[in-house]
């Protein structure tokens, strides 16, 4: 799992691959110019007998909405490009460095983590440009952690960090054929990350395998729990897995076929599949938007106050910046979500309080009641529709997904590659109650192993256009 053959040699190899491959997919917006020096220092530590942990010398990419000392943190916006973050790492980045990881660079994202305008295209930002899917260059890499997902799929690093509010880790994980863990909100510190919503935001690992993601999760949480220790074989005897149907299935025939096969593989591992269940609709879109809009204004303005003087400090100032730079910032979509958030009246507003309660009940009560009533260890669903064609004019065309209930609840979700539809990767999500990561990792690893035994290694991208 760790890098025992020289961090500097591996970083040099990956930097060479970046120069060759990244121009095709545009996943990395800011390489770390000091990565090779940092890697050489870690090699010296290893030679002297100091190994910080299992990920000593492992290169990691970090999403460009997470503060990293010495590198820009832009959230994809030109408004933050010339306004440095604090001269310190976000807590999760400090944990990466303390564990001996090498910061390889920053990954592009959907600007403002895809909460600025309703007709946005995932993977586009004014600062970083457009990230493309390595499996089909004219198709979406998903959002908002598009660069992290595409980079891992393209072999630019085995380990990356994404962030999620609703689908922003599990979506690009599914579309790019990698593993993504969206942990329980609060398990990883959120300080130093450009926010949308304190009740839904979390960082999480994006990697090639479940075991790698589990090892990275241990570092990110600063936990004594060795999550990778739960990656042990395929025996799922005495495990009960629920399958909510309804709107979580049926939006993509090819995806349904791959997901039905996944249920057969889980059953072959000994799991009891409790099928044809249902989750309540997770509240109206209006309640969800009210929560995000209210929290965005409060949380984002608190974050902006930590930045260097001279840049925007309020949502109104960001809106004005975008208007002043409309030829670039507003070229493809607007900022009506920003404008809506700017008009909210704080977290004591009765509108916010009511919407938050509705959303919370829909998420937590829906998941917890389903688990309790059916004596389930976890639930599984198809992750996301296959990658849609990039359309900067009209925005994303997402047919369906499995992320909303877990997002509203603040509960964990893991996306694991389950197969392909017409050559496009798709994934299966494992979800559960708060802090059930140990169980979900065990199930996800068993499924991953069974799928590889049955089908062989997941296909690698060819970096071509899809017909």
Enzyme catalytic residues? 63, 144, 168
Look at residue 151 and give its three-state secondary structure: helix
Who's near 60: CB < 8 A, 6+ residues apart?
96, 101, 102, 103, 104, 157, 159, 160, 161, 216
* Chain centroid, CA 373 distance in Å: 30
In whole angstroms, what is the distance from residue 253 CA to residue 322 CA? 40
What does 304-321 look like in DSSP terms, one character per residue? HTTSPTTS--SHHHHHHH
Who's near 236: CB < 8 A, 6+ residues apart?
266, 269, 270, 271, 443, 446
Residue listed under structure tokens 């807590």:
91
Beta bridge partners of 273: 241
387 Rama sector, left if φ>0, alpha if ψ -120 to 50, beta otherwise: beta
Helices (H), 170-209: 170-176
> Are the CB atoms for 258 and 454 separated by under 8 Å?
no
Buried/exposed 346-367: b ≥16 CB within 10 Å, e otherwise: ebeeeebeebbebbbebbbebb
> Are the CB atoms for 449 and 459 separated by under 8 Å?
no
Largest CA distance in the chain: 60
In whole angstroms, what is the distance from residue 195 CA to residue 302 CA? 9
* Exposure of 3 in the CB half-sphere (CA atoms within 13 A): 24
* Exposure of 329 in the CB half-sphere (CA atoms within 13 A): 23
The four Cα atoms 85, 90, 94, 99 give a dihedral, to 10 degrees, of -130
Residue listed under structure tokens 């997941």:
458
In whole angstroms, what is the distance from residue 138 CA to residue 388 CA? 9
Q: Among 68, 153, 166, which residue's Cα sits nearest to residue 122?
A: 166
């Amino acid at each position: 799992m760790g890098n025992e053959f020289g961090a500097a040699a591996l970083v040099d190899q990956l930097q060479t691959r970046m120069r060759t491959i990244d121009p095709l997919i545009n996943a990395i917006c800011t390489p770390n110019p000091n990565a090779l020096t940092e890697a050489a220092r870690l090699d010296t530590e290893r030679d002297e007998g100091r190994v910080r942990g299992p990920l000593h010398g492992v290169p990691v990419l970090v999403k460009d909405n997470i503060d990293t000392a010495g590198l820009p943190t832009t959230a994809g916006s030109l408004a933050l490009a010339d306004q440095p973050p604090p001269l310190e790492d976000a807590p999760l980045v400090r944990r990466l460095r303390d564990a001996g990881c090498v910061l390889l660079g920053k990954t592009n994202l959907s600007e403002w983590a895809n909460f600025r305008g309703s007709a946005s295209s995932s993977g586009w930002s004014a600062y970083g440009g457009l990230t493309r899917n390595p499996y089909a260059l004219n198709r979406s890499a998903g959002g908002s952690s598009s660069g992290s997902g595409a980079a891992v799929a393209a072999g630019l690093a085995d380990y990356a960090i994404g962030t999620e509010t609703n689908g922003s880790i599990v979506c690009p994980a599914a579309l790019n054929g990698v593993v993504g863990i969206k942990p329980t909100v609060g398990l990883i510190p959120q300080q130093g990350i450009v926010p949308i919503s304190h009740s839904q935001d979390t960082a999480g690992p994006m990697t090639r395998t479940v075991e790698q993601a589990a090892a990275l999760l241990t570092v990110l949480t600063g936990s004594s729990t060795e999550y990778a220790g739960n990656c042990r074989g395929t025996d799922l005897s005495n495990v009960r897995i629920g399958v909510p149907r309804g709107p979580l299935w049926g939006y993509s025939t090819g995806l349904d076929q791959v997901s039905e096969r996944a249920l057969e593989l889980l059953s072959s591992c000994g799991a009891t599949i409790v099928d044809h269940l249902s989750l309540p609709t997770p509240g109206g879109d209006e309640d969800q938007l009210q929560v995000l809009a209210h929290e965005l204004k409060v949380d984002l303005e608190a974050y902006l106050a930590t930045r260097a003087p001279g840049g925007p400090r309020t949502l109104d100032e960001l809106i004005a910046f975008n208007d002043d730079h409309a030829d670039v910032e507003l070229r493809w979509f607007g900022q009506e979500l920003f404008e809506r958030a700017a008009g909210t009246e704080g977290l004591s507003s009765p509108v916010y309080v009511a919407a938050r309660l509705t959303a919370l009940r829909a998420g937590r009560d829906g998941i917890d009641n389903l688990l309790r009533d059916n004596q389930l260890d976890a639930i599984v669903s198809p992750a996301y529709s296959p990658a849609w064609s990039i359309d900067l004019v009209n925005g994303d065309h997402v047919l369906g997904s499995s992320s909303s209930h877990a997002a509203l609840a603040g509960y964990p979700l893991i996306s694991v590659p389950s197969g392909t539809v017409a050559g496009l990767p798709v994934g299966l999500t494992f979800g559960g109650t708060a802090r059930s990561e140990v169980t979900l990792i065990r199930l996800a690893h068993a499924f991953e192993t069974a799928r590889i035994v049955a089908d062989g290694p997941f296909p690698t991208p060819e970096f071509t256009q899809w017909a």
